[in-house]
Amino acid sequence: MTNKKQNPKSVGLVETQRIALPLPSGGLVLEKGGRLPDLTVAYETYGTLNDARDNVVLICHALSGDAHAAGYHSASDAKAGWWDEMIGPGKGLDTDRFFVICSNILGGCMGTTGPSSIDPRDGKPYGSRFPEITIGDMVVVQRLLLDHLGIEHLEAVIGGSLGGMQVLEWSIRYPTVVRRAICIASAPSLSTQALAFDVVGRNAILMDPCWEGGDYYASDHSPVLGLAQARMLGHITYLSPEILKTRFGRDKRPDESPSGRFRTPFQIESYLSYQGNKFTHRFDANSYLHITHAMDDYDLKEKYGELEQAFASVESRFLVVAVSSDWLFPPEQSREIAAALLRAGKSVSYCMLHAPFGHDAFLVDIDDLTDTVRAFLGLATPGAATQDRDASIYCGEDYEAIAAIVPPHARVLDLGCGDGALLDRLRRERHVRALGMDIDLPSVIRVLQRGIDVIQDDIDEGLTLIPDADYDTVLLSETLQVVRKPQLVLNEMLRVAAEGVVVFPNFANWANRWRLGLRGRMPKSGALPFEWYETPNIH
């Protein structure tokens, strides 16, 4: 363990800071009307703030997280911070480059003011008196912390799950502060199913006689049974059915003796019991109630009418990341965010991590996430440094032929964009506004490295994230031959752009020479007639 702490990729020993932030007289007024007379925030930092104070990355943690995101609190500390794999020299959030901050959220129980904190008005814990909080309030408190630290701009704000909701809120509330926003395995509002699980989870606490309406801090007992029960249920939803099957199956404990009547001998029962019990040693039931309630309440569509309206003032470049096996915050919800940002005309990239783990993948299965985040932050990703697949096509007469079709400053969508070399050159030389699309994550990562927006998607499923008539030119280069539904794809191309260009290999001429162009006009009738003809420039 000592070795691990001396590991050059660890941030090493760290300390949680606690700071009482200055508030206006009357205290902090919360979004739902409540008031906090004082405010303490617990936070940790990793890396070094540069002189320009512009290398700051803010991490927003999820339901059960805290300020201790990386490193160790002592030499005897057995466990690193909750996102240690992501934070450190050379990691996703590279502390050689960035000054990384993570603070415990408002309403939490790890140092930031929450229901278990002392109300200065009478010196007793808030308990049932703690006011209702929102995701917005959490973000306001983070902003107050940054103000106090003299930080005016964020290079990036990043978070998964509840943390992703805070990322959305940051980019909406403080559009000029956040340069890049990374929203992982999150949603603009919880699904009905997720709401339902939260109802049952909170119910477990509310029905625990030790909860005492929230005022249990002076008692010998706290609602640990209810809190453990809520955590056990939550835990099921954080994991995919596949990973549960792989990890536990119907395996039984070696001793085969259940711990009591109606207890089973299955490993999954002892695992859940262990997780539930462990959670009660570090978490407060009232914090669980307040934070899940704030998540349930969060609803950008309800607040702004339409999701793209919520994003109207966003100036951040967005990276939206889904996890394939996540059923609590399913990929459709991340896609919804990305689609709305595109409709709002914002800069957004989207990718889906193929990870079997479920929702928790962003915490535990992070190699792909690390590469994606590094690329989006403009850092080298060693794994992605392979040869350009199709470099040859983007030079000489091939490029000239395409460039001749694409007007300067056009909005260009490149389907099957590979590593983005074509878009990169068009951007440099034709000053286009570029969006790439590819199904392959390593390609997507290379496009991100170029600073070009990219959507990871299967074009055979239709360009479902792309709004109607949003592009001047849509390119399908070197891809038509692998498309399974060419008719659908061609129709979709003409839905999203005024002009489509199809480039494909001439198999009769193995030396990769040229080709054919497709040009179409958006139909005004809703039917999709289009004409094929060769553009004169190509031959």
Site residues (CB under 8 A) for a copy of itself, limited to 127-156 = 128
User: Is 264 near a copy of itself (CB under 8 A)?
Assistant: yes
Residue pair 108/59 in contact (Cβ under 8 Å)? The answer is no
Find the binder of a copy of itself among 5, 293, 389, 513 (CB under 8 A): 293
Choices 53-61, 77-85, 197-205, 415-423 (CB under 8 A): range interacting with a copy of itself: 197-205
Tokens of 320: 């939206």
How many other β-carbons are positioned within 10 Å of the β-carbon of residue 269? 17
Q: Of residues 19, 29, 118, 233, which one binds a copy of itself by CB under 8 A? A: 233
Shortest Cβ 462–a copy of itself spacing (Å): 18
Burial class (CB in 10 A: 0-12, 13-18, 19+), 434: buried
Q: Minimal CA–CA distance to 460: which of 484, 437, 436?
A: 484
Give every CB contact of residue 87 below 8 A, 6+ residues apart in sequence: 11, 46, 59, 69, 70, 71, 81, 93, 95, 100
Which SS3 state, helix, strand or coil, does residue 414 take?
strand
Helix H or strand E encompassing 523: none
- The only residue of 225, 321, 422, 480 in contact with a copy of itself, by rule CB under 8 A: 225
Annotated catalytic residue 326: yes
Q: Is 262 in the site for a copy of itself (CB under 8 A)?
A: yes
Applying CB under 8 A, among 61, 68, 202, 446 the residue interacting with a copy of itself is 202
Which of 229, 349, 372, 449: binder of a copy of itself (CB under 8 A)?
A: 229
Q: Looking at 68, 349, 359, 371, which residue is catalytic?
A: 359
Residue 73 annotated among the catalytic residues of the structure: no
Answer whether 262's CB lies under 8 Å from 75's CB: no
Distance between CA atoms of residues 79 and 77, nearest Å = 6
- Does position 189 interact with a copy of itself (CB under 8 A)? The reply is yes
Catalytic residue (choose from 326, 371, 424, 457):
326
Three-state DSSP class for residue 202: helix
Q: Which is nearer to a copy of itself, 266 or 399 (CB)?
A: 266
In order of 208, 225, 247, 342, 360, the CA distances from 278 in angstroms are: 18, 11, 19, 42, 17
Residue 361 three-state SS: helix
Indicate the residue among 149 and 244 with the shorter CB distance to a copy of itself.
244
In the bound complex, what is the minimum distance in angstroms from residue 134's beta carbon to a copy of itself? 14
Residue of 159, 214, 436, 500 interacting with a copy of itself (CB under 8 A): 214
| Token representation of residue 161 | 């799950």
Pairing verdict, β 154-160 and 497-503: unpaired
Max intra-chain CA distance, the chain: 85
Q: Is 359 part of the annotated catalytic residue set?
A: yes
Select the span of 47-55, 57-65, 178-186, 199-207 touching a copy of itself (CB under 8 A): 199-207
Are residues 268 and 149 in contact, defined by beta-carbon separation less than 8 angstroms? no
* Residues within the interface to a copy of itself (CB under 8 A): 128, 189-193, 195-197, 199-200, 202-204, 206-209, 213-214, 225-226, 229, 232-233, 236, 241, 244-245, 247-250, 260-262, 264, 266, 268-269, 272-273, 289, 293, 296-297, 299, 302, 327, 330
* Active site (catalytic) residues: 161, 326, 359
